[in-house]
Structure 1
């Protein structure tokens, strides 16, 4: 019985850690998206992309 409780605790700790890491990754990606979006509009806007600029 105690082994099952310990396994459940380890599982819940692992899920909590994973969710925490995913929240951090989502926040970092959101910051990069906002920076890219603002940089795109400062460079003239439009529908041109970085790989299609002339």
Structure 2
């Protein structure tokens, strides 16, 4: 989670540095994996799956 936040912060706030498209493309699957893990955690601890968008 920390690495994802650092990457997002770099892309969103460090506007003077280039953020390569391949890093952005790699970021999306990493976020999807994180979301799946959060959903699984919530389902295990609440007894139901998290609501899908």
Structure-2-length-normalised TM-score: 0.49
More helix per residue: 1 or 2? 1
Q: RCO (CA 8 Å, sep 6+): is it higher in 1 or 2?
A: 2
The alignment's TM-score, normalised by the length of structure 1, stands at 0.48
